[in-house]
Structure 1
Amino acid sequence: MAPEREDWMSMTGMLRTYTKDDIKPKKDDKGKNHIDSYNPATSTRELNPYWKQGGSGLPQTSESFRKSRQFIKPTDDDDDYYKKSYSREGSSQSKSADESSRYSHESKAGSSRHKYDRESRSDRDEGSRNDRSYYDSRSYNWKKNSESENRNSVHDSDKSKHIEPKSSMAPQKEEPVKVKEKKKDSLYMSDEKLNKLAAKVVKAEIMGDLNLFKELKAKLEAAREYRKQNPNAKEESEDEGVMLISTNSSGNSRPLMNTAKGDARSKGGKRKAETHASGERTKYFGNDDKYNLAQMFEQEKYGNNYDDEAQLAKIAAKHKNPNDDLEDIFMDDISKNRNEAKDREAEKQRAINQHVKIERSLEGCEYCVDSKNMLKHLMVSCGSKVYLALPAKQSLVTGHCLITTIQHATCVTSLDEDVWEEILTFRKALTRFFNSQGKDVVFFEIATKLHRFPHMVINCIPLPRDVGDMAAIYFKKALLECETEWSMNKKVVDLKGKDIRKGVPKGLPYFWIDFGMDPGFAHVIEDQQLFPKTFGEEIIGGILDLEHHLWKNPRKEYGDLQRKKVLEFIKEWKPFEPSQN
């Protein structure tokens, strides 16, 4: 007889029981649902390139690949072009072995060009790695069938026929195309330039740009014909050279010397040098005996000091020991041998940049006689170094004229002695001319932004006699009140007993004024942004109570007004012209 269970063992609800499944939280099925709803065509994490842009996930066939590449065809008649290539498909299979090898060699060149065009287009587009053309090209190269290979060989062979004129262009004898010559050697091209131009001709022909192809081909034929008729043109062009001029911050200019060559890429660094001999010190640093006193004086006097402040900042920034004082910092820098070749290269580059700025300034100069912007009909009198002209804009007063140099010069302080003497001759003649009319005259110049190499201009403005007597007081007061209250230079430099070239150092921006042949005042401009460029005209306009548009922004005159002004001035000026006296 089986034992009976106790009553309490069969009772329910007294003690709650838990299982492992009840305690453990249930996992979310979001991940499973996400995997089930995954769409490879729209996912950004999909690595299969054939799902991109609505693809089916499989590589393209040759027919679909051909349609996707129709945008790189060289001509506009797409259907006719490919019909022609398909019609040649049967005949291309029956060609001999030597012809097929020749076409295969040319097809490689054509395929490389297609690859270059394809890569250049993909580089210009953002996300080129995601571009369909990129993956299509990969898929097409990944798996090729015999039909596609034959079709490509026919296509590339047709391309090579278009490229064939490149090799046959040289022996062809055609009549030279006449091209207008601006300069004697404007048609001359080196071998490298001819090759580049021939490549551009072929590329234009392949791309189907007929206008560009004709233009480049005419230029190429003209250059070849010019070289054939002028075999010595290369030697003439090689003889042309430019002398580089180096100008320091003091305004001293000198030709750039071609010194001994060296390796500009080598580093300076600390070098071990013998400073003692027989137990006695002979020198402190290894380069103490490298320069003598005359060479050091010449370097300090005429050398460039453009980067002195930059070197000081560089030394202080690179020094790592905070406990060293300034003397220790400079001692460490002096012990390093500077790379002279690198310094010469930097100076040469500065001279080249300066030459480029000068050339750019000369091209747009309005006062150089050789410039295309110069208005020669405004010239009144011309000497050997200096000429007198009237302003192209509305004159401040009747008789307003300009004294300037024939050759490009930035300011009076940089002029040679003979040029300054001729300027004084014109000033004397103008002073007599206006004194005969019962007027006084003032001469002033403002020299600012010298780094842009402007053309020097001296303004000559006649004043009534009563105003001319008070002009010196007005200008001195205006110079004392100009710019800021505190300045590093003297506000007013008295030019009594000296001229402007001795009153202001070279290279500094300045304003100076003389009253007739009597000395006047000069002012060194410290802030070129604050100092007005029409300072002299503004003071004279205030003295004579003129309208502000005459000195602030004068209107430009044209045609008959300029001719009438010049004829009236010449009629009265002719007896006082320096060339006649």
Structure 2
Amino acid sequence: MSKDKIEDLNELGAKLIKAELLGDDELAASLRERLENARKASELTKPEPSASTSRKPQNYPREKFHKHKNHRYDNEEAKMFKRNYKNDEYDDLNYDDFSVTSSKKLKNEFVHQTDQKFAQNKEKEEKKSAENCSYCFDSTQKHLVISIGKHCYLCLPNSESIVDGSCMIVPMSHCYSSVTCDEDVWQEIDRYKKALVEMFDKRRCECVFYEMYTNENKYGHMVIQCVPLDMNVSNLAPIYFKKAIIESESEWSTNKKLIELKDKTIRSTLPKNVPYFTVSFGSENGFAHIIEKNEAYPAHFAKEIIAGIIDLDPMVWMRPRKESFGQLSKKVIEFSKWWKAYEFNKN
């Protein structure tokens, strides 16, 4: 067989493996047929063996251009590659340089290139998210800040609050979630929580703390929301949230629907980079849930539950009104008076 024909067969074989990796069954079947026809044609053009030798003609093994048991990619793995890597951002990966004679080498090179591309895109997204972040302390609206710690700050929202006294605990530098933040950040968050619980307890309110980390905002800035509920209704919060979390996903969910934290923390319970929602009540740990469907957990998920507890007009939590600088300043001054006795940052 000529060198050109061998190269043609190798090229067809490489394209066949690429199609199998991407789960394109129709293209794979077409390439497999073309490869078989080309192999048969090459055998027909082989010269007859010389009469002066008893050596049998050497046949090219059929397995060379067919899936070997050690090189086979089952349908599920092919689907995984198709799902994870069939994207415009990977179109520049070069598959034609891979040799059909080593599908293991092809797979390793494929994974290496996609991992490299993923890492580059991840770095770009992280950088872009941090540059445009309004929660990083250098970019935040300073007139809403109540307290500044070493690693976190306490501030008020820049729009109408769902409940008077609603506030936020925010890390000063860009980090994504309670699970991934540094230990010193986590400890200061806990210190702010304890101070807020004590402060609102004197005002006959119980704090509801919640956080949401989603795939849609995986590089966003983490925020711990604090909503104080009057003691007359605060006992309903665990019941409402538990019911809403259990009903949020389908009965065929892969993960446990409700994770009761009790004596555990979110950091010791969930792995890093897994999307989740968590809520706690006063000084008691509450619940966590691994989010499988983003649509089941919109940004207003917790606000809608709280609105149901206090019978609040939906427009307040669905479309909170922007407040003037004067209105916001008044809220900051009032909250600062409440907070003064509980401020632990003496700088």
**TM-score normalised according to structure 1 size:** 0.43
The verdict on how the C-alpha distance between 1:311 and 1:504 changes in structure 2, with shifts beyond 3 A counting, is farther
Q: CA deviation at 1:572?
A: 1.2
Matched residue, 2:126: 358
1:375 matched to 2:141? The reply is: yes
1:565 matched to 2:308? The reply is: no
* 1:442-484 deviation digits (Å, cap 9, x = unpaired): 1001111356511111110111113112211111111111132
Matched residue, 1:410: 176
Correspondent of 2:227 among 424, 442, 461: 461
The verdict on how the C-alpha distance between 1:522 and 1:326 changes in structure 2, with shifts beyond 3 A counting, is farther
Cα distance in 2, alignment partners of residues 525 and 398 from structure 1? 29
The secondary structure found in structure 2 opposite 1:329 is: coil
Greater RCO (Cα-Cα under 8 Å, separation 6 or more):
2
1:32-431 alignment runs, 5 A limit: 313-314=21-22, 320=32, 329-330=72-73, 336-338=104-106, 346-371=114-139, 374-431=140-197
Cα distance in 1, alignment partners of residues 69 and 206 from structure 2? 58
1:533-548 alignment runs, 5 A limit: 533-548=299-314
Once the two structures are overlaid, the 10-residue window that deviates more, 454-463 or 497-506, is: 497-506
1:484 matched to 2:250? The reply is: yes
CA contact (8 A) 2:206 2:229 kept: yes
Q: CA deviation at 1:563?
A: 0.7
The verdict on how the C-alpha distance between 1:574 and 1:311 changes in structure 2, with shifts beyond 3 A counting, is farther
Identity %: 39
CA contact (8 A) 1:450 1:507 kept: no
Name which one, 1 or 2, has greater alpha-carbon Rg: 1
Moved over 4 A (4+): 315-319, 321-328, 330-335, 338-346
Q: CA deviation at 1:418?
A: 1.2
Cα distance in 2, alignment partners of residues 398 and 518 from structure 1? 22
The verdict on how the C-alpha distance between 1:451 and 1:546 changes in structure 2, with shifts beyond 3 A counting, is closer
The verdict on how the C-alpha distance between 1:449 and 1:343 changes in structure 2, with shifts beyond 3 A counting, is closer
CA contact (8 A) 1:387 1:403 kept: yes
The secondary structure found in structure 2 opposite 1:446 is: strand
Cα distance in 1, alignment partners of residues 19 and 261 from structure 2? 37
The secondary structure found in structure 2 opposite 1:484 is: coil
The residue type equivalent to 2:185 in the other structure is V
Matched residue, 1:132: none
The residue type equivalent to 1:486 in the other structure is W
RMSD: 3.0
Cα distance in 1, alignment partners of residues 346 and 178 from structure 2? 26
Cα distance in 2, alignment partners of residues 542 and 563 from structure 1? 29
Q: CA deviation at 1:415?
A: 1.0
Mark the runs of 5 or more structure 1 residues left unpaired by the alignment.
1-268, 270-309
CA contact (8 A) 2:249 2:257 kept: no
Cα distance in 1, alignment partners of residues 220 and 101 from structure 2? 39
The verdict on how the C-alpha distance between 1:312 and 1:365 changes in structure 2, with shifts beyond 3 A counting, is farther
Cα distance in 2, alignment partners of residues 366 and 510 from structure 1? 22
Q: CA deviation at 1:330?
A: 4.6
* 1:375-421 deviation digits (Å, cap 9, x = unpaired): 11101101111110000011111110001111111111111111111
Cα distance in 2, alignment partners of residues 500 and 311 from structure 1? 42
**TM-score normalised according to structure 2 size:** 0.70
Cα distance in 2, alignment partners of residues 461 and 368 from structure 1? 22
* 1:209-251 deviation digits (Å, cap 9, x = unpaired): xxxxxxxxxxxxxxxxxxxxxxxxxxxxxxxxxxxxxxxxxxx
Cα distance in 2, alignment partners of residues 543 and 448 from structure 1? 25
The verdict on how the C-alpha distance between 1:333 and 1:409 changes in structure 2, with shifts beyond 3 A counting, is farther
Matched residue, 1:441: 207
Correspondent of 1:574 among 333, 340, 346: 340
* 1:318-353 deviation digits (Å, cap 9, x = unpaired): 584899686551599976424877765544433332
Cα distance in 2, alignment partners of residues 526 and 352 from structure 1? 26
CA contact (8 A) 1:441 1:463 kept: yes
Cα distance in 2, alignment partners of residues 479 and 524 from structure 1? 10
Q: CA deviation at 1:508?
A: 1.6
1:472-551 alignment runs, 5 A limit: 472-551=238-317
Q: CA deviation at 1:486?
A: 2.2
The verdict on how the C-alpha distance between 1:393 and 1:484 changes in structure 2, with shifts beyond 3 A counting, is same
Mark the runs of 5 or more structure 2 residues left unpaired by the alignment.
1-9, 11-17, 33-62, 75-99
The residue type equivalent to 1:483 in the other structure is E
